[in-house]
Structure 1
Amino acid sequence: MIAVLDMAGTTVADGGLVERAFTAAIGAQGIEPGTPPYDRMIEHVRATMGESKITVFRALLGAEDAAQQANRAFEQAYGDLIDSGLRPIDGAEDAIRQLQDDGVKVCLTTGFSEATQQRILSALGWQQLADLTLCPAQAGRGRPYPDMVLKAVLDLEADAVADVAVAGDTAYDMTTGIRAGAGIVAGVLTGAHGKQQLEAAGATHVLESVRDLPGLLLDRRLEK
């Protein structure tokens, strides 16, 4: 079995760094906090947490050049903020190790670029923690498409997509898991979206935290 786990909001607590980095990126486009365009855009960002960041900027700005510029500014701002507010979700590292001890391979996924993902892993000392790490560019498309989950299935040699557990804190994580055919699509309540949003997006389970995932997978194995 494999577990495909989101990072920010699921295994990593970033203390609002996404919104802070977004504010810096959109400010470079001349859009300032407190203005109607900013309010509209930040609402979209909150609703689409988990989606590939370049896709978000394309939806907001339209022109590809502006989207690429904003995405670069976002990644730079987030990278600059990493050391100031990044920490693991309580118990996340222990949960990952417990999954691996139980024979479950773990893939960590993100909507960020590979460079930003690697900076996050380095800041946490997690470079060697997971069996696999993936970002949208490595898989083809980001969330809500199933590409990252399906690449994890291939790279980690799962026997079937039904043997995959996907866990994340956003509706987009749930949609990704459903589209990939994962047997378990678990929402966690440590990030962007609440129980109602997660269930509406198709969550098979809603957990207080990723800490509860090893127990859920163990219970499933005992039921078989």
Structure 2
Amino acid sequence: MTAHATDTTGSAPDGRDIRLVVLDMAGTTVADGGLVERAFAAAAAELGVEPGSADHADKLAYVRATMGESKISVFRHLFGAEEPARRANAAFEKAYGELVDGGLVAPVPGAREAVEEMRADGRTVVLTTGFARVTQDAILDALGWRDLVPLTLCPADAGGRGRPYPDMVLAAFLRTGAADAVHQVAVVGDTSYDMLSGVRAGAGLVAGVLTGAHAEPDLRAAGAGHVLPSVAGLPALLRGDGGGD
């Protein structure tokens, strides 16, 4: 396997040297069936954005383009002032939580098994999200994943800055103590912002998956050294048994 240059030490490590794996949730380990767009519709309605209007289409296009970013940051961009952004974010989180409670989320096939396999291989796994903590917890509860990993992080857990900033990756590095250096960290997700956060954190392995928002060219352009059909192939990639390139 060939790792691309995402290691700030100047040499890409063997995947077997990876000790900490920072995994995105929605689109990477969790299949939500487009709930982000449905929840956005509720947020837009709260702010008086007419469905079917050009304004609605423009805002939805931005939401799609920035999948993986902290949702409050997205709404700050869309609505400008802090008060309407917070109203939109609250409406979004409420709608998304209700959809999750309605049983509309499921694991990406093989995701739980992949996490368990990586942990059995001696790696620490952390789950991250751009959602608020209340939404992240609702997803974990719906899937029965509370005890799947030792740490889960949302932007608020890392000082409030979500992707594409490196803060959640670095928070995982610092809080777990699982790796001695950032080149022993892998970052995996389905969006360009996931890739950027890994590159900016100096992660030794940055990998995209094709089960979510963005296609391979977008992931590669943002720094993915590997692209996998799904997270199910990640344990084999880390062991050097094959996978994406």
Query: Shared fold (TM-score greater than 0.5)?
Result: yes
User: Are 2:181 and 1:181 aligned?
Assistant: no
The 3-state SS of whatever aligns with 2:103 is helix
The letter for the 1-side match of 2:236 is G
Match of 1:128 among 128, 147, 150: 147
The 3-state SS of whatever aligns with 2:55 is helix
The letter for the 1-side match of 2:107 is P
The letter for the 1-side match of 2:206 is V
* CA shift for structure 1 position 109: 0.1
- Structure 2 length as normaliser, TM-score? 0.89
Match of 1:89 among 102, 108, 111: 108
* CA shift for structure 1 position 87: 0.2
Residue number in structure 2 paired with 1:30: 48
The letter for the 2-side match of 1:31 is V
4+ residue segments displaced more than 3 Å = none
**Contiguous gaps of at least 5 residues in structure 1:** none
User: Are 2:167 and 1:147 aligned?
Assistant: yes
Whole-angstrom CA distance in 2 between matches of 1:123 and 1:149: 24
Higher helix share: 1
Residue number in structure 2 paired with 1:98: 117
The letter for the 2-side match of 1:42 is L
Residue number in structure 1 paired with 2:214: 193
- Structure 1 length as normaliser, TM-score? 0.97
* CA shift for structure 1 position 84: 3.3
Whole-angstrom CA distance in 1 between matches of 2:150 and 2:124: 6
The 3-state SS of whatever aligns with 2:23 is strand
Identity of aligned residues (%): 61
Check the 8 A contact 2:191/2:214 in 1, yes or no: yes
The letter for the 1-side match of 2:146 is Q
The 3-state SS of whatever aligns with 1:123 is helix
* CA shift for structure 1 position 131: 1.7
The superposition leaves residues 110-164 of structure 1 with CA deviations (integer Å, 9 ceiling, x where unpaired) of 0011111011000000000012100000012100000000010011111110000
Whole-angstrom CA distance in 2 between matches of 1:160 and 1:38: 44
The superposition leaves residues 20-76 of structure 1 with CA deviations (integer Å, 9 ceiling, x where unpaired) of 000011111111221000000000000000000000000000011000000000000
Residue number in structure 1 paired with 2:184: 163
The 3-state SS of whatever aligns with 1:33 is coil
